[in-house]
Structure 1
């Protein structure tokens, strides 16, 4: 069971400080460079990652239905050009077949490649959250990181499966009721519910990554606010980047590589939003802990003062008068404290005799005569 430090809610005046510190830390840790590296890793991991997601979700709905739903959702997120790249990648991946040992090697390479982007994401999050280097890093740490990345791929497949179920239910209702569905109030409510559900799915996905992927653990109450803000920025930015990618500026500038460049731009923007949300989550947790310490300090001082006030005073130590002790006089010669040492005659040092000092009568002090007694 994880034990988290005490935290306290933030005040309204702490919110501007939260965003200012988040922007400073986002710039200090060079999140833009991390986003560029993540975009490159994602391009190489895109095909194996999508294949795993489709394979897991396809068990319930079939691979073709899952692939069509995935491409449709990615088209809504990154535009037509990005979705075209996804379709080409998936078609090329399904055409290449292997068997036997080659199939096993392909599966190993597939798993390693699919978890590469998430491993890079974990490294970036640890740096943004200022996590110290793990002393147990090595083969064990690398295997653990890959397993965590694979677990997040399964989480991604689960969210895709849930979204696919909701969209399939709405599509079935739309086909069953026909024109009645399109002109009813329930259709408007269902569409609003679908949008809110999509927002909740994106928020839950960000929260799961912030909670599970880094090397440190934060409580859900500190992860969810950052995930909500990240999802809002992601949806707002989706419209802007989609509007930019829908124009022909990218295609005319890069030619045949325009679709790939459009996908890279979308991944780069999404990574910037994701990293800013990660920094915001970390700063939110730090400010809550600092707020708790500020509240606990006066309370601790007050409790100490109350404890000292209610403690009974110490009893005074009685001072007793000294009792006189009778000392008996010593009668007789004192005991010798040291042995007598006899010095030989040849080693004795002769001391010159003392001479009397005669005073000069003239210099002798004059003593005044004593006064006479009256007769």
Structure 2
């Protein structure tokens, strides 16, 4: 079977297949050279430390905005959406004992202390995780050190704050948007619910592509980052599915690791997420070496000459 595969690979008509195999091999080699697995662990750690305060901060702000949002069931829908998202990784016991009571308390009235303290803590650790993404993507493009360290750190903070503000808008929209539209236009409710997940997928790819675009020091057209974003989303979905199976089989039924299933599951899921994002950046970087833009090629050559 392998002999037949390599014979087909050498066939003149299979140029695209050869290109795909070559791209895969170069991406794997690049991942090892730049230690993407280790850097994904670093990003996952900083994300984990920022996750509780940022969730409490965002959720606490939504508690204050409940009246402004105009629907009494908006907060309940947001709470249920967060619980369902956490259910892909956390065990039901962890959700019922830890997550749901906190969401009920904070969403009920909002808490200013949670917003202020949580925002400051999340700003440091969350922007540190984002800085890992930006720095690693710059390095795999061969443009490491092109940005000033202070400038890059400030950019990480700015992008992180923008992400938090976008989350404040998207959480209620994703939770109650389809039901609101279906209530206004009941004749197209089936179409609205049918387009919900495709819209989420397209929005995720667009967000990842934007992250890759701002991470590269030399601007390239936004659409050139779409392949890596699509690869990152596929890897993330496959990794999350495999992780859920692993947790169900290995951890939750173990008397030793059962109590640690929730924190280990969160950390492993964040690791899968970080690795998928960095791998997508590596794919874009390898594609750029095939057909680089003029500005990136000049900057990469200058960085190589400076290193020599």
Q: Deviation at 1:131? A: 2.1
1:223 matched to which residue of 2? 225
2:4 matched to which residue of 1? none
Give the Cα–Cα distance (whole angstroms) in 1 for the partners of residues 172 and 216 of structure 2.
Answer: 25
Give the Cα–Cα distance (whole angstroms) in 2 for the partners of residues 14 and 249 of structure 1.
Answer: 40
**How do 1:69-108 and structure 2 match up within 5 A?**
69-76=81-88, 78-80=89-91, 84=95, 86-87=99-100, 107-108=119-120
Q: Deviation at 1:259? A: 0.8
2:289 matched to which residue of 1? 286
Aligned: 1:263 with 2:274: no
Please say which structure displays the higher CA radius of gyration: 1
1:66 matched to which residue of 2? 78
Aligned: 1:196 with 2:198: yes
1:24 matched to which residue of 2? 29
CA deviations 1:167-188 (Å, max 9, x no partner) are 4348869xx89xxx9xxxx85x
2:130 matched to which residue of 1? 118
Contact 1:126–1:215 (8 Å) recurs in 2: yes
CA deviations 1:121-176 (Å, max 9, x no partner) are 223322333323146333x5433321122223334444444422444348869xx8
SS of 2:249's equivalent in the other structure is coil
Give the Cα–Cα distance (whole angstroms) in 1 for the partners of residues 137 and 246 of structure 2.
Answer: 28
Aligned: 1:40 with 2:49: no
Aligned: 1:163 with 2:174: yes
Contact 1:115–1:149 (8 Å) recurs in 2: yes
Q: Deviation at 1:105? A: 5.9
SS of 2:283's equivalent in the other structure is helix
**One of 210, 213, 217 as aligned partner of 1:208:** 210
Aligned: 1:144 with 2:185: no
Give the Cα–Cα distance (whole angstroms) in 2 for the partners of residues 207 and 143 of structure 1.
Answer: 20
Give the Cα–Cα distance (whole angstroms) in 2 for the partners of residues 199 and 46 of structure 1.
Answer: 22
Change (3 A) 1:97 1:50: closer
Of Structure 1 and Structure 2, which has the larger fraction of its residues in helix?
2
Q: Deviation at 1:24? A: 0.9
Change (3 A) 1:106 1:202: closer
5+ residue gaps, structure 1: 1-10, 292-375
2:298 matched to which residue of 1? none
Contact 2:127–2:157 (8 Å) recurs in 1: yes
Contact 2:57–2:116 (8 Å) recurs in 1: no
SS of 2:220's equivalent in the other structure is coil
Q: Deviation at 1:106? A: 5.9
Q: Which moved more, 1:271-280 or 1:126-135?
A: 126-135
Give the Cα–Cα distance (whole angstroms) in 2 for the partners of residues 91 and 273 of structure 1.
Answer: 32
Give the Cα–Cα distance (whole angstroms) in 2 for the partners of residues 96 and 196 of structure 1.
Answer: 32
SS of 1:22's equivalent in the other structure is helix
Change (3 A) 1:198 1:82: farther
Change (3 A) 1:103 1:196: closer
Give the Cα–Cα distance (whole angstroms) in 1 for the partners of residues 221 and 61 of structure 2.
Answer: 29
Q: Deviation at 1:41? A: 1.0
CA deviations 1:38-57 (Å, max 9, x no partner) are 12111100012223443566
Change (3 A) 1:213 1:164: farther
TM-score of the superposed pair, with normalisation by structure 1: 0.59
Give the Cα–Cα distance (whole angstroms) in 2 for the partners of residues 108 and 290 of structure 1.
Answer: 39
Q: Deviation at 1:74? A: 3.3
Give the Cα–Cα distance (whole angstroms) in 2 for the partners of residues 121 and 87 of structure 1.
Answer: 31
